[in-house]
Amino acid sequence: MKTIQQRKKVLESIKPFQLVKYLALSSLMVLLVCTILISGFISQRAKAILLEKSEKYTLLLAENLNHQVFFQFTVPTLIADGEIRLSRESQYQRLDRVVRNTIHGLPVVSVNIYDPDQVLTYSTDKTMVGQKGSIGEPFARALQEESVSLLSSEEKDLFGFEWKGGARKLITYLPMWEEKPLSWRRGKVLGVFEITQDMSSDYSTIHRFQWIVASSFLAFVGILFVTILLIARRAERIIAARAKERNKLEDQLYQAERLAALGEMIAGVSHEIRNPLGIIRSTAELLDSRMNDERHKRFSAIIVDESTRLNDILTEFLDFARPKDLRPSKCRIEDIIDKNLQMLEAECQRLGIRVERAYFTGDYCIEADSDLLYRAFVNIFVNSLQAMPEGGVLRLQTEVMNGRDGYPQLELQIQDTGHGIPDAVKKKIFNPFFTTREKGTGLGLAIVQTIVDNHNGEIEVVSQAGYGTIITIRLPLEQPEFEVEESTV
């Protein structure tokens, strides 16, 4: 249940930032869509302006063409031949020359002239002359002296965006009228001009501009999104790390509160038991001194031994419930280790355990309570020896290295070649009163952790069943200064 609650807290701590990230992503997508739509709108507007400009240009071209045809072809032909018959090669060549000279250098693809019956009387493509057209409404409106423009396109477009697919042509139908010399008024309509312009170049320019705008903003949005994504991931890692640290502190606080309550109970019970236990022990010793019967002396000796063992257990309980205050002083960790090993030398020889030392701290000293560290190391070494009942190797290594906060710290590694610790057990080894042995209080490693924590250090256990155990203890070289609050009564 507790693990589920911790995960929930982590998710709740990250959720608000994820919402901000999703909103930022949604905003970017909305901006992108709006930019595409605006770009399409601008493009369509530019095309409309281009079309309007081209229609006005065609109107001017038609007026000039009408003027040139009337005064350079119609009038001279009527004077010279008396009638107009374009079936005559000379007349057709004369009209073709006038038309081509007029449209020379202009983006005009073709010029067709229809009579009122929609018969093609002239075309820049001579093979089409004589055909009857079926133009329909645009032709009728041109006969009514209107100009009609139609845009033919082979381009494909989607939401205003186009991709290459063909040419664009503007076909304009305009009336061909009779010119009146020295007058601005037009005469009767003689036919209809069909002027076809090539608009591909202008539309290609708009096409390129449109894609440049869209691509530029797309690149901008992409860079902005990647930047936000990187910031978001870094922020999520920071938030997750802080949430993990907060959960760790909450666990430590919960454990401390539980142990404090447990310690108070143990201290009270141990105190109540210790007094009558002392009376039992002293009475047994007195009986032993007054008895002459060896059998009775043996019984009294058993009472003394068991009383002593119970007193040692109570002492361990009291040490756990009321840990000693830290009294740091300059000391060398290797001296404390050697003192422990000297005390355990006989046991190591009995079990056939070889001790290997690798000290790399040089002359470094640490600020610590040597008595408390001595007791912590005893508990660890005893556990290592018990894990190697058939002999093995106990390796000890010390070195100075930089800690996570950048300050130097001393690291001690204690490695044995014993039977190792199963994963299910490894999670509980620092729990008070947890033990896998028939004898023992299960407080040894709990006391070790308390001592290491009081030294502002950390302890780490790496073990695998059948492959031994490595216990790593990291301690700062100097202890922070604690402010002692003086209480007044």
Mean pLDDT of 307-326: 68
- pLDDT, residue 272, reads 67
Handedness of CA 276, 281, 287, 289 (dihedral sign): negative
Q: pTM of whole model > 0.75?
A: no
- Domain 2-213's class? alpha beta
d(CA 150, CA 416): 93
pLDDT, residue 181, reads: 67
Higher model confidence: residue 420 or residue 205? 420
Q: Is the pLDDT of residue 343 over 90?
A: no
Residue 401 has pLDDT above 50, yes or no: yes
CATH of domain 324-476: 3.30.565.10
Q: Which residue has the higher pLDDT, 442 or 102?
A: 102
CA distances from 104 to 107, 167, 168, 301 (A): 9, 21, 20, 134
Instruction: Supply 153's token pair.
Output: 């396109």
Asked if residue 204 has pLDDT above 50, the reply is: yes
Range 34-55 average pLDDT: 75
Domain boundaries of the chain, sorted by first residue: 2-213, 324-476
Per CATH, 2-213 and 324-476 having the same topology is answered: no
CA distance 449 to 102: 103
Cβ proximity of 392 and 346 under 8 Å: no
190 or 27: whose pLDDT is higher?
190
pLDDT for 486 equals 40
- The region of weakest confidence among 61-65, 461-465, 478-482 is 478-482
pLDDT of residue 220: 79
Instruction: Give residue-wise pLDDT tens across range 110-155.
Output: 888 888 888 888 888 888 888 887 888 888 888 888 888 887 765 5
For residue 14, name the pLDDT band (cuts at 50, 70, 90).
Answer: very low
Per-chain mean pLDDT for the chain: 77
pLDDT bracket for residue 324 (50, 70, 90): low
- Decide if pLDDT at 484 tops 50: no
Report the pLDDT averaged over residues 91-109.
84
pLDDT over threshold 90, residue 395: yes
| Rounded CA separation 356/212 (Å) | 72
Which among 116, 66, 115, 118 has a CA at the least distance from the CA of 95? Answer: 66
Tell the residue number behind the tokens 């999670």, with chain if given. Answer: 427
Model confidence over 237-251: pLDDT tens digits? 888 888 888 888 888
- Write out pLDDT tens, residues 244-290: 888 888 887 877 777 667 666 666 666 667 667 777 777 777 777 77
Percent of the chain at pLDDT exceeding 90: 7
Token digits of residue 290: 């007054």
